[in-house]
Amino acid sequence: MAEAPKIIDLPSVIEPHLDGGKLISYTSRYLTKAGENYGSIMLAVIANIQKPSGEIEDLPLVAKLPPITNDFFWKLFKPERTCLTEIVFYRYLSAALRSMQLEEGIEESQLFDGFPQYYGSRISLNPDTEVVDRDAVLVQENLQTMGFKAGNRHVMFNLEQTKFVLHETAKYHALPLALRIKKTEEFNQHIRPYIRRFNMNGDMPAEVKEQLNSDLFTEVALATNNNDNYVNRFKKLMKDYDDFFCKPDAKDGLYTTVAHCDLWINNLMLKYDENGAPCKIKFVDFQIAQYESVAHDIIFFLFSSVEIPALENHMDELLLLYYKAFIDCLKSVNVPTDEYSFVGFMKEIHRCAPIEICHAVFMAKIILADNSTMPDDYKDMGMDVMSKNLGGKEISEKIGHIIRLAEKYKFLFDN
């Protein structure tokens, strides 16, 4: 793998977060391989820190850079928007949610702790600019050294893991919603401007978009034994999916919150207890977070990242588990919940489900892409990797199951 990009003037970024410590030196390497991350470059950093006492320690960090070596992904992911969105999670949202919970009487040990610790950020070396450039960086704790394990995109979450993730995702959704209700002015000033509708495909070359659509329809045909009914349905869904991102921002609603909008196995890190049960979670990669319904995250997570038997046999149980955890979290910060019926929640799930089923089918080729088709260097990554995986057995089976289960639960066709 190529040498990792250099981070210019790292001390000015992290030293304000070191309690008086100084950065003496650092080493870095790529944290992820090509195919594990598309919208950013992730570096594992070992920072040599001198504490105020004079003691020297190594601090394991992760530095997240925009896609500085890949012009295609720079244009696709629009760091001028996505970097600002993610920084807001660390600079403001995490602290605001913590303060709100404490004000509502929640004990320290019971606080939601789903964000990595923040060690600074910048959008440019120029302190006077508001434009993100190729010197942007976000630094956070290295969760792997804290015992958290990254998901494996080829190994879906089992039932136990899925229940845990949904329970914590309900908190991730409910708390920003409560913040919007209880501290509307702060929310509108510090958060809402950075989570507006994001159309990642807006600048995608027409020929690339056409190829992606053609590949998706081919995959649906292969997965359904050339069933024209499903292929035509996905042609309409793909148009609906594209139109969705061109719509105005979502309006305030019972289930509208700071949705992750990319909630799949690679963006969740779990910690396990001595019995192997998940006990802690960290949500990562907030680049394309948007103000949207919780249902988008729920459906996309389930159909992109969960074992088929869990979906086959426990869908009702999983949705009820999420709903109860969501209501409990709202109640814990004294938000009235009389309007939040389970019937209304399920209507919201069904309203948003078709678009997210399309999203999950589209992502199946990315999630299950054969490692051998990935380039060695991130700069060589392109959307053509999806065509290289066209018709793969694992991908075709996954898409077939998604379509079958989506139809079973009335998430694919209109009721």
CA-atom Rg of the chain in angstroms: 21
Cα 205–chain centre separation: 24
DSSP state of 30: E
In the sheet with 56-65, reading across from the earlier edge strand, the strands are 22-30, 41-50, 56-65, 137-141, 118-122
- The C-alpha atoms of residue 288 and residue 305 are separated, in whole angstroms, by 18
Count of alpha carbons within 13 angstroms of residue 376, beta-carbon side: 3
Query: Domains, the chain, ranges and CATH?
Result: 67-117+147-409 (3.90.1200)
pLDDT tens digits, the chain, 415 residues: what are they? Answer: 568 889 999 999 999 999 999 999 999 999 876 555 667 899 999 999 999 999 999 999 999 999 877 788 888 888 999 999 999 999 999 999 999 999 999 999 999 999 999 999 999 999 999 999 999 999 999 999 999 998 888 899 999 999 999 999 999 999 999 999 999 999 999 999 999 999 877 777 888 888 889 999 999 999 999 999 999 999 999 999 999 989 999 999 999 999 999 999 999 999 999 999 999 999 999 999 999 999 999 999 999 999 999 999 999 999 999 999 999 999 999 999 999 999 999 999 999 999 999 999 999 988 888 766 555 554 545 556 555 666 688 999 999 999 999 999 999 865 4
Strand pairing class (56-65; 41-50): antiparallel
Which residues lie closer than 8 Å to 18 by C-beta, 6 or more apart? 49, 59, 119
Per the structure block, which two tokens stand in for 114?
């789903």
395: nearest Cα among 370, 354, 363, 365: 365
- The C-alpha atoms of residue 372 and residue 103 are separated, in whole angstroms, by 51
- The C-alpha atoms of residue 235 and residue 237 are separated, in whole angstroms, by 5
Length of the chain: 415
What one-letter code names the amino acid at 346?
M
Decide: helix, strand or coil at residue 232. Answer: helix
pTM: 0.93
DSSP state of 280: E
Strand pairing class (22-30; 149-150): unpaired
